[in-house]
Chains A and B, each alone.
Chain A
């Protein structure tokens, strides 16, 4: 039987901020364990939460980026459960009025656009981190209270590729907006995956299974694939799929049952009484909206549809906001966007990847790149010379004009001048011309000789054209 897969994601992302979500404690998870904690983070008796306004604004920013509705009143709720990673015995989160609801984003899955519906994004505080050893566990409270945003999608994805494309797009939004560093290597993004399968054409979803706390996209992929296979196998054998929570073991690529019934835990949610309802004014929303950068999808759309950039190039350029911003700077200087995109996707990104450098750290400014492209486009230098200049600029930290002068490169683009040289070459190689006439393909050899004579300064296209004309003359 053919099955359709349905996937929903819950993505936790740690937010960059000076202080924690509800305390003045420093948000510095990676420093010496338990060095960034205060009485509020450790829930000593008598402490009270205070809302971090920077993080609140970032919450609004993300809600807007995900096209969500922002409520008019800010409210928080308590989620009650006992665990040593949760000093208060409850987590302050948002269940009744999340900072964003009913949103969506468009993402590219390959070359197709897919709309992903966002149920909500809410603000909460992270727990401490626990390391378990054989006979003891270590707790690091640096992470306790770090602002955390949880994004919940609708069950609207139907393949691993769609899920990964969404995660990648979401991560890019966190990076573009500066809300989070979203570093996967530091566990700043963690994911719960809900997977169900149902026979193709069925209008009822299958039983949902949740796989909790997956730290990397590769493991999300592994977990989904493993879980789909497990469920298919179970159905094939006539077994029932239970609503349960499972975990993914990356070592053997399988999922294992943690507990039955996803909704089995009663967190006894109720409104946090220590944070009075706070009005989110339209002015505040607009203030935040003005800080929202153009996001990845919007830029790809513009590059491809307005500038006729290839989808592949557009996707590589927008991978990092700084690269996309750089590209747009170059365009603003009057360079043809399509030509600029070739330079960006091939030459610039090629260099950055090879040298493992950040675009903000290189000597070559958008102005310089525009200058090099202009010289090539106006035939002042050949495109090969353009690449040489590009490399020299980066090697020697000198402006393109200086490099051009130093190398003494210019292009012979004068037809008469070139025609003289072409005829020189042909006259010097009469027997080769004979062979050419007898069918030996020596055309490129002749052009090569022209390039050699001019120390590479002949415009190759023009040299080709004139060579062809002169040979044709002699042919007759």
Chain B
């Protein structure tokens, strides 16, 4: 059932949701914590609607681990603004969902409570970092879930899970209470099974927050009430270099051919809706720079943002003869090797002798990319691209070549939305090898309504709205 229908329903949705959550937990590992006695007396738009929230949001009195050992026993005493707003709207949080440790990662396999499995095929991952939020929506446990998106951490797992994943314009939703990964890139995001449902949740959690200076002081009309499938005359573009088969010579396989075919069909649907679709060429070097730029900025910010995790004020206290040793011990035991690797890189990138070359240059490239797309969004209403270069990988997949074009171009373009704070949405567009694939749509800053309209119209031309993975296959 979609969120929109649930709002009109009288069933005990929370009870059903909790039953499903518990039923699927062992197999799919969506949750760090299932809140079995979940309830909420408040009346509002979302009264009685169950949902899940990523375990890197601060929830008063409820364990909030960020899927890391260093926070495995951490129970906050204050609420994230998003959580508070959902509570005030009557929604019922039934669980805290698993993520890649501290939201760093794209596989959903690095959380301290184990890997999250893809509801469409248990041998495959769902992607991350908002893995549990994606799987809980894909499994039909909850009609919506909250995630966070720093590079594509909501939109990518949405593609792999065959659901809708959205991140708004930077600043439209308060980040207060979201454990930071890379604050200049972090966005609160929403998972649902329809575009309209995104607009309902967005209406509930959007808005200026005096606790977050980067939240925007703009009044936006109700996205739900204004959503409109008449997109005739809207202008879309895709990037030539990303869809040029010649760029993937050695990497080309049937799967990618099918993904491209699906994309072409989607373009036809756009045209049927009366939209124009253009091919735009962008300097390939700029596109190849997206991932390294993202990595440099995010690691640098992350190493600073996570410097509060020392076990002195909260978290497991380390052992040692001096204060330095105590902090060192807590951090050594508290983080996995992958996280330490990112911190070391981030620290290296920020070092005085490297900062100009690595950190500040990354900032400059980010600016070039943002300027380029801001300019394009003046001419075009949205960017449309395939959501990924493959279906969800299996757990046994060999390490991907991170310097291949297929990886650099097709698997990382979503970070452009984070660089510029552009609103961006993933919607399902079909299946390849029985696994869901999808489309990525991105618009200019504060053009969230237009983006949702285009996604809503496209969704209406396809048959994947509301789809739920079987869960027991």
List chain A positions with a Cβ less than 8 A from chain B.
Answer: 39, 42-51, 78, 80, 82-84, 87-90, 137, 266, 268, 270, 273-276
Contacts and interface: CB of A to CB of B under 8 A. Distances in A.
Contacts of A82: 307, 310, 324, 327
13 contacts: A44-B313, A45-B56, A48-B176, A48-B214, A78-B304, A84-B323, A89-B307, A137-B323, A268-B352, A270-B350, A274-B212, A275-B213, A276-B214
Given A45-B308, A78-B304, A268 B76 contact: no
Contacts of A270: 300, 304, 350, 355, 359
B140 interface: no
B355 A44 contact: no
B423 interface: no
B273 interface: no
Contact of A48 (B57, B212, B313, B359): B212
A356 to B, nearest CB: 43
B304 A87 contact: no
Contacts of B187: none
Contacts of B324: 82
B446 interface: no
Contacts of B58: 44-46
Contact of A274 (B183, B307, B352): B183
Interface string B297-340: 00011001011111011100000000110010000000000000
B211 A88 contact: no
Given A45-B179, A274-B214, A268 B308 contact: no
B351 interface: yes
Given A43-B313, A82-B327, A273-B301, A49 B307 contact: no
A48 B212 CA distance: 6
Given A80-B307, A88-B307, A89-B307, A268 B78 contact: no
Chain A CB within 10 Å — which of B57, B180, B306, B351 has the most? B180
A82 B71 CA distance: 18
Interface string B170-182: 0000011111101
The residue in B80, B210, B312, B355 that gathers the most chain A C-beta atoms within 10 A of its C-beta is B312
Contact of B313 (A42, A50, A273): A42
Given A45-B308, A268-B352, 10 more contacts: A39-B77, A45-B58, A45-B66, A45-B179, A45-B309, A48-B212, A84-B327, A88-B307, A266-B352, A275-B213
A45 B76 contact: yes
Contacts of B359: 270
Contact of B178 (A46, A78, A89): A46
Interface centre among A43, A46, A88, A266 (most CB of B within 10 A): A46
A80 B76 contact: no
A45 B74 contact: yes
B445 to A, nearest CB: 13
Query: Most A CB atoms within 10 A — which of B210, B327, B350?
Result: B350
B471 to A, nearest CB: 32
B171 to A, nearest CB: 8
Contacts of B312: 84, 87
Contact of B78 (A44, A80, A274, A275): A44
Contact of A89 (B56, B211, B310, B355): B310
B320 to A, nearest CB: 12
Contact of B213 (A42, A49, A266): A49
Interface of B: 56-58, 64, 66, 71, 74, 76-78, 80, 175-180, 182-184, 210-214, 300-301, 304, 306-310, 312-314, 323-324, 327, 347, 350-352, 355, 359
A88 B178 CA distance: 15
Contact of B308 (A48, A49, A89): A89
B76 A46 contact: yes
A274 B355 CA distance: 20
Contacts of A51: 213
A80 B57 contact: no
Nearest to B331: A82
Given A43-B308, A46-B179, A87 B313 contact: yes
B304 A80 contact: yes
Contacts of B210: 50
B352 A44 contact: no
B433 to A, nearest CB: 39
Contacts of B182: 273
A46 to B, nearest CB: 4
A275 to B, nearest CB: 5
Contacts of A84: 310, 312, 323, 327
A46 B308 contact: no
B123 to A, nearest CB: 34
Nearest to B79: A46
Given A80-B304, A90-B304, A90-B307, A46 B347 contact: no
Nearest to A139: B312
A266 B351 contact: yes
Nearest to B301: A273
Contacts of A268: 304, 347, 350-352, 355
Contacts of B180: 45-46
A80 B355 CA distance: 14
Contact of A273 (B183, B350, B355): B183
Contacts of A90: 304, 307
A44 B301 CA distance: 17
A51 B214 CA distance: 12
A97 to B, nearest CB: 15
Contact of B177 (A42, A43, A46, A83): A46
Nearest to B174: A48
Contacts of B327: 82, 84
A113 B300 CA distance: 48
B76 A44 contact: yes
| Most B Cβ at <10 Å: residue of A48, A82, A266 | A48
Nearest to B210: A50
Contacts of A83: 323
Contacts of B64: 45
Contacts of B77: 39, 44
B350 A80 contact: yes
A229 B42 CA distance: 73
B80 A46 contact: yes
B397 to A, nearest CB: 32
Nearest to A268: B350
Contact of B184 (A39, A80, A89, A273): A273
Contacts of A80: 304, 307, 350
A89 B351 contact: no
A431 B347 CA distance: 103
A378 B199 CA distance: 85
A83 B301 CA distance: 19
A44 B347 CA distance: 21
A388 B58 CA distance: 71
Contacts of A45: 56, 58, 64, 66, 71, 74, 76, 179-180, 308-309
A88 B183 CA distance: 14
By Cβ-Cβ distance, the 4 closest A-B pairs, closest first, are A89-B307, A268-B350, A273-B184, A43-B308
A274 B184 CA distance: 7
Residue of B179, B182, B323 contacting most chain A CB atoms (<10 Å): B323
Contacts of B183: 273-274
A50 B208 CA distance: 13
A266 B307 CA distance: 15
A84 B326 CA distance: 10
Nearest to B76: A44
Contact of B57 (A46, A47, A137, A266): A46
A22 B308 CA distance: 16
A72 B56 CA distance: 36
Nearest to B178: A46
A243 B147 CA distance: 50
A78 B57 CA distance: 23
Q: Identify the interface centre among B56, B74, B80, B211: most chain A CB within 10 Å of its CB.
A: B211
Nearest to B64: A45
Contacts of A42: 313-314
Contacts of A137: 323
